[in-house]
Copies of this chain bind each other. A is one copy, B any other.
């Protein structure tokens, strides 16, 4: 039995449009209504035939939906929730896909009526591309989806978990504040650093932009991919996970200064010791199966090793 028969998605960017495609592929009998505030995006969504009903009015979209998923930037959640709160059906479930969870849980708790169950969610998946054309049905396969409801044992939480599992994801329940600290490490800080280094590299006087681009295969390239992610989405992530990001940034800066000192004093032992230790983590990630991009790449090229062109 399907966990939900009628689903509405608000926001048709990369994640929203991937969700629509995944639902069509994995649960074709679900009735899907989608909404985006941009009429241009709605027109494109109709062309791509991503859903039966498409509207630029979010409140209209949620009427009769058993599950409503907000797939808008974290900073827009409160406003969209206020817009749809009055039209949410009795017994329906509200969820989202935002990369920050404590502020989302708070915003939804403050806006939603009592007859709506709140199950915030975060599929840890994506690419650096944006918009309805960027989505694809298999985005969530084998990825983790973290749910942060107040009560993980509630029927609504269990239904949302079943929903994501039908889409191929693995589900984990977590406290919202803990989620925000974990993702600060595995996602938010890496993005901030990537944005920062790409910014630094484009502002140098003695090295031209074209030289930076030409020789980017030495490692810089990977940072530019991360730093090509959606600007508004990421602005909202940092503004809404301020404390965790700032605390972690402090630690990172300390560690980087220690490395800087080792380089200045020619302390090769400290450098080599760290560089050896970090190798082990990579192996664990490959073992855990979260290295899909490279593993696929290796397989499709007959044993060509993981990744290319990033080591010198």
* Chain A contact residues: helix, strand, loop or mixed: helix
Residue numbers in B under 8 Å from A196 (CB-CB) = 252, 255-256, 259, 274
State A196–B196 Cα separation when bound (angstroms).
15
Shortest Cβ distance from A140 into B: residue: B309
Q: A285 to nearest B CB, angstroms?
A: 5
Take A213-B281, A266-B242, A281-B202 as given contacts and tell me if A127 and B193 are in contact as well, using a CB distance cutoff of 8 Å: no
Contact A266 B252 (CB under 8 A): no
Q: Does A216 contact B (CB under 8 A)?
A: yes
Q: Does A166 contact B (CB under 8 A)?
A: no
Contact A126 B311 (CB under 8 A): yes
20 contacts between A and B (CB under 8 A): A99-B218, A124-B218, A124-B309, A125-B217, A125-B308, A125-B309, A139-B308, A185-B207, A186-B215, A186-B219, A200-B251, A214-B290, A219-B226, A222-B222, A224-B285, A225-B282, A229-B275, A235-B275, A236-B268, A293-B310
Q: Which residues of A contact B (CB under 8 A)?
A: 14-15, 75, 97, 99, 122-129, 134, 136, 138-139, 143-144, 146, 172, 178, 181-183, 185-204, 206-207, 209, 211-232, 234-236, 238-239, 242, 245-246, 248-249, 251-253, 255-257, 259-260, 263-264, 266, 268, 271-272, 274-279, 281-285, 288, 290-294, 296-297, 300-301, 304-312
